[in-house]
């Protein structure tokens, strides 16, 4: 292919991709705006604020789609060139094109198959690796079949067997499918399993692109002005306008913590676009908390304490048990002997009759516990931000800190907790030897036990039956026995330690 003609093909591929994607995303913008304003109803103080809220969604999504379309256009051109290279006969072109696209989708298929078996329960399935491979192969062939169908529909429009009437028939199910995926993105497993929600958003966008493609293929032969839309000069203007408007919109959103909170709390597509921009370092979210003064020196709080009993050298021990129901403990009236050691310890402790977790998921709850903040809400305004933890504060006052917890505390919405995972919540040590050091000092220890969480393993030494609730009670009794050993050790080694169990 001559150099000049190659450049022309590249320009038209990029321009066509930019305009095609920018137009295809418009129905999704409509879905997002109307669903959020009509169903989620975020607290907007005025009509002007609502218009600004909707305007930023439109600008950000169209800008992101235009940039995505530029890349997509180059991919389509590359696949077309490879198809022409490998297909020896014209009739074999659809087959080759479908396989090339399927192979390009293979990394995404592999990620989905792996993520499907990443959970704790899935890890216990016999032969899970073979099942994951089988699932990946099935998804690859399903992708190929779907692409063959799409290419077949495109060819029917191209040879004019189908026209505007068939395109109109296709539009209804395609847009309904996109809307269904969008609503599922909003309502199904909200805030959990990011790969699942990214897949739903990409699927909704793909259906909208298919609808736009059907309209283009149906009306292109009779409406020459449609072909002129793909002119490189017009596409360049659209791309530049989209980039400029998108940069302006990101700048405005990055400076408004309240607006950012509303987007991450109520939208799906806009929140993903903002999260992607932040991860690519295209925008830096500003926080109203940035001006908070540094914490006082260790001497200040002691000077401000009211008169009363003091245990200045007491250690602190925080014990949390995952998925432990209060109504399955004897201290709260449960009839089964699931917790004799905890019950005995509680007789000399302050027992709270009402206690609430911030979010019914481990990652958010334990991080709220360790930071003293509403992590679920704050992560909506500033995803991935790390807040000061109890170990951070106590280390300033001379405490040695140690934490013992499984990696599962970071599994839910892992991207939001990567900073805590890297820093291990600010704990210094993760070995038991520091508790029994020859030179004892004040320590803060957090112990998180995971056993009562599903799946419920049978404990022969604590057999309450074969039902799920029986095995659950057995898990509690097992934890109670281990906690009894720990409490006995604390009485010997740290008799003045404060112990909190939750």
pLDDT band at 286 (very low <50, low <70, confident <90, very high): low
- Of residues 57 and 162, the one with the higher pLDDT is 57
pLDDT band at 39 (very low <50, low <70, confident <90, very high): very high
3-state secondary structure of 310: coil
- The answer to whether residues 101 and 78 touch, using CB atoms and an 8 Å cutoff, is no
pLDDT band at 436 (very low <50, low <70, confident <90, very high): very low
Q: What is the pLDDT of residue 409?
A: 56
Instruction: Read off the DSSP letter of residue 432.
Output: G
3-state secondary structure of 402: strand
Q: What is the pLDDT of residue 470?
A: 94
CA-wise closest residue to 184 among 196, 171, 174, 170:
196
Does residue 181 carry a pLDDT above 60?
yes
- Of residues 437 and 400, the one with the higher pLDDT is 400
Hey, which bits of 329-421 come out as E strands?
400-404
Average the pLDDT over 476-481 and give the result. Answer: 94
pLDDT band at 490 (very low <50, low <70, confident <90, very high): confident
Average the pLDDT over 174-200 and give the result. Answer: 88
- Of residues 97 and 428, the one with the higher pLDDT is 97
Average the pLDDT over 352-365 and give the result. Answer: 82
Cα three-residue angle 174-275-47, rounded to 5 degrees: 75
Q: What is the pLDDT of residue 58?
A: 94
426/420 Cα distance (integer angstroms): 8
Show the tokens assigned to 311: 């245990």
Q: What is the pLDDT of residue 183?
A: 95
Question: Number of C-alpha atoms within 13 angstroms, CB side, residue 91?
Answer: 0
Does residue 449 carry a pLDDT above 70?
yes
pLDDT band at 138 (very low <50, low <70, confident <90, very high): very high
- Of residues 160 and 42, the one with the higher pLDDT is 42
CA 237 to chain CA centroid, nearest Å: 34
165-169, 191-195, 231-235, 316-320: which is most confident: 316-320
Does residue 370 carry a pLDDT above 90?
no
Does residue 432 carry a pLDDT above 70?
no
- Of residues 109 and 383, the one with the higher pLDDT is 109
pLDDT band at 291 (very low <50, low <70, confident <90, very high): very low
- Of residues 287 and 122, the one with the higher pLDDT is 122
Q: What is the pLDDT of residue 404?
A: 80
Every domain of the chain and the residues it spans: 3-288, 312-501
Show the tokens assigned to 464: 């309450």
Beta strands 498-501 and 316-321 are: parallel
Q: What is the pLDDT of residue 293?
A: 45
Average the pLDDT over 207-233 and give the result. Answer: 74
Handedness of CA 195, 197, 203, 206 (dihedral sign): negative
What percent of the chain is modeled with pLDDT above 90?
Answer: 30
On average, the pLDDT of the chain sits at 82
428/402 Cα distance (integer angstroms): 6
- The answer to whether residues 2 and 217 touch, using CB atoms and an 8 Å cutoff, is no
Torsion, Cα of 252, 257, 260, 261 (10° steps): -160
Q: Which has the minimum average pLDDT: 234-238, 293-297, 418-422?
A: 293-297
Does residue 146 carry a pLDDT above 60?
yes
| pLDDT tens figures, 389-425 | 888 888 888 888 888 876 655 555 555 666 666 666 6
Q: Which has the minimum average pLDDT: 80-84, 119-123, 148-152, 182-186?
A: 119-123
Average the pLDDT over 122-136 and give the result. Answer: 84
User: b/e for 464-475, b at 16 or more Cβ within 10 A?
Assistant: beeeeeebbbbb
Hey, which bits of 240-386 come out as E strands?
316-321
Q: What is the pLDDT of residue 438?
A: 44
- Of residues 398 and 204, the one with the higher pLDDT is 204
61-65, 115-119, 240-244: which is most confident: 61-65
CATH class of 312-501: alpha beta
Identify how many contiguous H helices and E strands the chain contains and give both numbers. 19, 4
Task: Kindly report the pTM of this predicted structure.
Answer: 0.67
90-99, 362-371, 459-468: which is most confident: 459-468
pLDDT band at 303 (very low <50, low <70, confident <90, very high): low
Does residue 433 carry a pLDDT above 50?
no
Does residue 344 carry a pLDDT above 60?
yes
pLDDT band at 103 (very low <50, low <70, confident <90, very high): very high
| pLDDT tens figures, 160-176 | 667 778 888 889 999 99
């Amino acid at each position: 292919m001559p150099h000049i003609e190659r450049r022309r093909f590249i320009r038209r591929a990029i321009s066509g991709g930019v305009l095609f994607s920018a137009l295809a995303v418009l129905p999704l913008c409509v879905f997002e705006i109307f669903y959020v304003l009509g169903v989620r109803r975020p607290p907007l103080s005025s009509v002007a604020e609502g218009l600004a809220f909707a305007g930023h969604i439109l600008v950000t999504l169209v800008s992101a789609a235009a940039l995505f379309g530029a890349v997509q256009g180059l991919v389509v051109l590359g696949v077309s060139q490879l198809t022409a290279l490998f297909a020896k006969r014209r009739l074999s072109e659809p087959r080759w094109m479908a396989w090339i696209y399927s192979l390009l989708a293979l990394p995404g298929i592999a990620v989905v198959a792996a993520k499907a078996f990443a959970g704790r329960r899935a890890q216990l399935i016999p032969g899970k690796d073979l099942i994951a491979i089988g699932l990946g192969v099935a998804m690859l062939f399903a992708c190929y079949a779907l692409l063959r169908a799409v290419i077949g529909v495109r060819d029917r429009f191209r040879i004019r067997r189908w026209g505007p009437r068939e395109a109109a028939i296709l539009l209804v199910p395609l847009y309904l499918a996109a809307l269904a995926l969008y609503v599922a993105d909003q309502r199904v497993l909200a805030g959990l399993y990011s790969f699942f929600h990214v897949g739903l958003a990409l699927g909704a966008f793909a259906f909208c692109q298919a609808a736009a493609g059907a309209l283009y293929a149906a009306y292109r032969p009779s409406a020459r002005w449609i072909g002129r839309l793909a002119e490189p000069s017009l596409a360049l203007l659209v791309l530049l306008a989209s980039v400029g408007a998108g940069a302006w919109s990101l700048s405005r959103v990055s400076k408004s913590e309240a607006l950012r909170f509303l987007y991450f709390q109520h939208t799906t597509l806009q929140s993903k676009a903002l999260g992607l921009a932040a991860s690519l370092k295209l925008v830096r979210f500003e926080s109203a908390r940035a001006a908070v003064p540094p914490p006082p020196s260790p001497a200040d709080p002691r000077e401000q304490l009211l008169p009363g009993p003091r245990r200045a050298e007491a250690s602190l021990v925080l014990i949390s048990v995952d998925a432990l129901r209060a109504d399955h403990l004897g201290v709260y009236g449960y009839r089964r002997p699931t917790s004799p050691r905890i019950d005995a310890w509680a007789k000399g402790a302050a027992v709270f009759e009402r206690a609430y977790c911030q979010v019914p998921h481990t990652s958010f709850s334990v991080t709220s516990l360790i930071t003293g903040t509403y992590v679920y809400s704050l992560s909506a305004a500033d995803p991935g931000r790390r807040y000061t933890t109890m170990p951070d504060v106590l280390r300033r006052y001379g405490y040695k800190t140690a934490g013992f917890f499984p990696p599962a505390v970071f599994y839910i919405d892992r991207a939001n907790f990567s900073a805590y995972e890297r820093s291990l919540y600010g704990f210094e040590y993760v070995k038991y030897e520091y508790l029994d050091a020859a030179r004892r000092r004040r320590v803060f220890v957090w112990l998180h036990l995971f056993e009562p969480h599903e799946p419920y393993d049978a404990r022969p030494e604590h057999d309450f039956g074969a039902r799920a609730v029986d095995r659950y009670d057995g898990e509690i009794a097992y934890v109670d026995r281990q906690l009894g050993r720990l409490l006995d050790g604390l009485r010997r080694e740290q008799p003045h330690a404060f112990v909190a169990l939750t």
